[in-house]
Amino acid sequence: MAMTTQQIDPELVYRLVRRIPSGRVMTYGYVARLIGCNNPRLIGRILHNNPTPEITPCHRVVNSRGEVATNFAFGGRAGHIERLQAEGVVVKNGRLNLYRYLWLP
DNA sequence: ATTAAGGCATGAA
DNA sequence: GTTCATGCCTTAA
């Protein structure tokens, strides 16, 4: 029995991402898992379509290696890094320490 | 032992 | 069939 059509509400993603405290991050995988989706890439697509970057801090989501997005919708890689550093997150070589900054609800 | 980089798997648009 | 704001594994320095 294959469940091929699993629809997820982008609002669920945005609502969860808004809970990430300033200076902390979550990964695409964790976000996906928490909203009952096993497709991390879909989270990336939804965040790419983020209509309100000022309200929904999509820059607080990185990949499982702690690396920022190459094609961040708001200023690309540099924009992603800049927004994280503005919150005190130390980013080196487009990468941050997940052990230090990872936040889970 | 640690890290970097590449390749394959995955699920939905 | 193609395209990803991914993840995990393998391999090479």
Instruction: Report which secondary-structure segment, H or E, holds A62.
Output: strand A61-62
pLDDT in tens, A59-93: 999 999 999 998 899 998 999 999 999 999 999 88
Asked whether residue A48's C-beta has any atom of DNA/RNA strand B within 7 A, the reply is: no
Q: Measuring CA to CA, how many Å separate A36 from each of A19, A29, A45, A47, A94?
A: 17, 11, 16, 16, 28
Cβ partners under 8 Å of residue A88, min gap 6:
A22, A23
pLDDT in tens, A14-47: 999 999 999 999 999 999 989 888 889 999 999 9
**Nucleotides of B strand lying within 7 Å of any protein CB atom:** 4, 10-13
A67 CA to C12 C1' in angstroms comes to 21
The model scores a pTM over 0.85: yes
Q: Which nucleotide across the nucleic acid strands is nearest to A67, CA versus C1'?
A: C5
Asked whether residue A64's C-beta has any atom of DNA/RNA strand C within 7 A, the reply is: yes
**And the tokens for A11?**
């609002």
